[in-house]
Structure 1
Amino acid sequence: MSLLQVKQVNHSYHSKKFFNWKDQSNNVLHDISFTIEEGTCLGLIGTSGAGKSTLGKVILGIQPPEQGQILFQGHDIYRSDKMTQRNIRRNLQVVFQDSYSSVNPRLTAEQIISEPLENYEKLTIAEQRSLVISLLERVGLSEKDLNKYPNQFSGGQLQRINIARAIALKPKLIVLDESVSSLDMVTQSLILELLKELKEDYGLSYLFITHNIKAAFSISDRLGVLEKGELIELYDSKDEFFYSKNPVILQLRDSILAEHPRFRSITRRENFA
């Protein structure tokens, strides 16, 4: 049984225009289906307006789809009993793009990381503090950062705190929604390396939602392409993606440049390294 199953998901947004009382329907997702296996990362690539954010909300249980199912460990996340839904929330975590808006600015790093532990674990104050310190160290920070507030961290450091919070309960799946897009190139590389290490160490699975093809290529085991609300391609390997003849994929690939101008040939596979 797959860890996550997305089955024929459809979703539209409805609105009424002024002086026009007929519903205006905007079809955002159309017949989306895919699976994620334990210990793997699916990179879901799409340009702005492709439906990535809506799909992420549907999978996280925030936005019920008009049609289709989201099954997590075989359970429908929208039709399960309260106990099952609580277990799903524990094992399905998220790291968003904006590290600053993802946290309460009045909480310290220790309090931010402790939030899920307080909701799901019964630890003593000493046990919880010790665990938070170990999580900080695991993401490249230290005990001296415990009492700092969000405005005292860089964007990359704060994203590490968000990652520490996401892995605190040792979840099965983390949805990474444009989680490195707002960071500079160097910090992006460091965060991606951290995510790859955590995936191996904790046996995590990821859904990596992004418009950044190089980032997706770096971290993913499989790749999917979302275009105008449709999953137009799903590749079981990165080589399949690279050699695809789909016009949309060709256009996406051709937009990737090498780090150094000398190697900026759109046909070079090294541009994705």
Structure 2
Amino acid sequence: MSLLEVKDITHSYGTSRSFWRKQDVKPVLSGVSLSIEEGTCLGLLGSSGAGKSTLGKVILGLEKPQKGQVIFQGQDLYTMDAKSRQQMRRNLQVVFQDSYSSVNPRLTAEKIIAEPLENYEKLSSSEQKRAIADLLEQVGLSSGDMKKYPREFSGGQLQRINIARALALKPKMIVLDESVSSLDMVTQTTILDLLRDLKTMHGLSYLFITHDIRAAYAISDTMAIMHMGRIAEMFRDKDQVFTSQQPAVKSLVDSMLPEHPRYRNAASSPGARQLFSR
């Protein structure tokens, strides 16, 4: 059984009404289905407005769909009882794009990471400090960073704090919603390396939402391309994304030029794939 199954999800943000008639709004999501196996990463790609972040919110329980099911660990997210929902929330965490708006600027790194622990665990003060110190070390920071405030960290360091917070409850899965897109290329690479290491260390599953094929290729096991609220194509072998003839996929690949000019003439060339995999 898959860790996560999304079945025929349809969602819109309502309808508009005029004096004469009711006008249907085009759905943001139309019959979307996908699955994520335990210990794997699915890269969910699409251009702006494709519906990928809305799907992420549906999966997280933040947007209830008009139709369809979200099955997490064998239970329907939107029909489960309160106790099951509480357990689901600790097993399904999220890291958003903007590392600064994701935290309270008045809290130290220690307090930021402590939030989920205080909500779900009954740890003594010393146990909690040890847990937070360990989490900081896992994401490449140190216990000496505990007392620092968000303004004292770079964007990449603060995203590491957000990752540590997401790890605090030892979840089964993390939704990464454009979590590296606001970072420079060097920092992106180090964060992607960190996420890969954590995935292996903890047996995590990821839903990696992005518009950047280069980043998705670096971390994902499988890929799904969204276009106009639908899944345009699924790739169990991520190398196939470079040879796909599906128009939405080709457009997305062509829009992501490799860094070196010598490879810019063909995104599907072996050289381009080497660049994308770094």
TM over 0.5: yes
Counterpart in the other structure of 1:270: 271
Q: Partner of 1:244: helix, strand, or coil?
A: coil
Give the Å deviation of 1:120: 1.0
Letter in structure 2 aligned against 1:263? Y
- Report the Cα distance in structure 2 between the residues aligned to 1:185 and 1:20, rounded to whole angstroms: 52
Which moved further from structure 2: 96-105 or 251-260?
251-260
Within 5 Å, give how 1:1-273 maps onto structure 2: 1-16=1-16, 22-266=22-266, 267-271=268-272, 272-273=276-277
Distance 1:26 1:71 in 2: 25
CA distance in 2, matches of 1:16, 1:28: 14
**Residues 47 and 252 of structure 2 are in contact (CA less than 8 Å); yes or no, is this contact kept in structure 1?**
no
Matched position secondary structure for 2:13 = strand
Mapped partners of 2:265, 2:3: distance in 1: 38
Kindly state the Cα deviation for residue 25 of structure 1 after the two structures are TM-superposed: 1.3
Q: Which shifted more, 262-271 or 235-244?
A: 262-271
Paired residue secondary structure (1:2): coil
Structure 1 CA distance, aligned partners of 2:249 and 2:203?
30
- Contact 1:92 / 1:174 at 8 angstroms: preserved in 2? yes
| Contact 2:43-2:216 at 8 Å conserved across structures | yes
Unaligned runs of 5+ in 1: none
Identity %: 60
Letter of the structure 2 residue corresponding to residue 270 of structure 1: G
Superposed CA offset, 1:88-139 (max 9, x none): 0000000000001111111100000011111111111001001101110111
Give the Cα separation in 1 of the matches to 2:124 and 2:271: 50
| Worse overlay, 120-129 or 252-261 | 252-261
> Partners in 2 of 1:9 and 1:211 — Cα distance?
21
Alignment length, in residue pairs?
273
Contact conserved, 2:232 with 2:249, CA < 8 A, in 1? no
Q: What SS class does the counterpart of residue 27 from structure 1 fall into? A: coil
* TM-score after normalising by structure 1: 0.96
Pick the structure with more strand per residue: 1
Q: Quick check: 1:5–1:34 contact (8 Å CA) kept in 2?
A: yes
Q: Deviations over 1:190-229 (max 9, x none)?
A: 1000000000000000000000110001100000000000
- Secondary structure of the residue that 1:14 maps to in structure 2? coil
C-alpha separation between the residues in 1 aligned to 2:197 and 2:261?
30
Cα pair 1:10 1:66 within 8 Å, conserved:
yes
Deviation (angstroms), 1:232: 1.1
Q: Deviations over 1:50-95 (max 9, x none)?
A: 0111101100000000000001001111110111000000000000
Match for 2:242: what amino acid?
F
TM-score (norm 2): 0.95
Counterpart amino acid of residue 63 in structure 1:
E
Q: Deviations over 1:157-207 (max 9, x none)?
A: 000000000011110000000000111111101100000000000000000
Q: Partners in 1 of 2:198 and 2:89 — Cα distance?
A: 20
For residue 4 of structure 2, what is the amino acid of its counterpart?
A: L
Please say if residues 173 and 205 of structure 1, whose CA atoms lie closer than 8 Å, have aligned partners that are also in contact: yes
Give the superposition deviation at 1:22: 2.1
- Give the unaligned 5+ runs of structure 2: none
- Contact kept, 8 Å, 1:242 with 1:269, in 2: the verdict is no
Partner AA of 2:88 in structure 1: I
